[in-house]
Amino acid sequence: MEKSIGKVTSPTLILGAQADPFSFSHVEPVREALVSARLIDLVVIEGGMIPLVEQKSAEIAQAIREFLVRVL
């Protein structure tokens, strides 16, 4: 992935689980690596942890809806 991420040109939504001690520190490096993306939205889900989708499904769904409204 590290070698290919700079080739992504599509609009990209990054969801960051703020309380996830393993993945949250990688949000900014991923964002910075998306050098060719037409649009990058970053949504930080407060209190989100490893089971983000199960834990914060309403917040995830809202972030996706708002992103799709912007790009479609």
Is residue 21 pLDDT above 80, yes or no?
A: yes
Give the pair of three-digit tokens for residue 20.
């996830």
Q: Which of 45, 42, 47 is nearest to 19 (CA)?
A: 47
pTM of the model: 0.92
Domain span including residue 23:
5-71
Is the pLDDT at 17 greater than 80? The verdict is: yes
Q: How many domains does the chain have?
A: 1
**How many angstroms separate the CA atoms of 42 and 12, rounded?**
8
- The mean pLDDT of the chain is 96
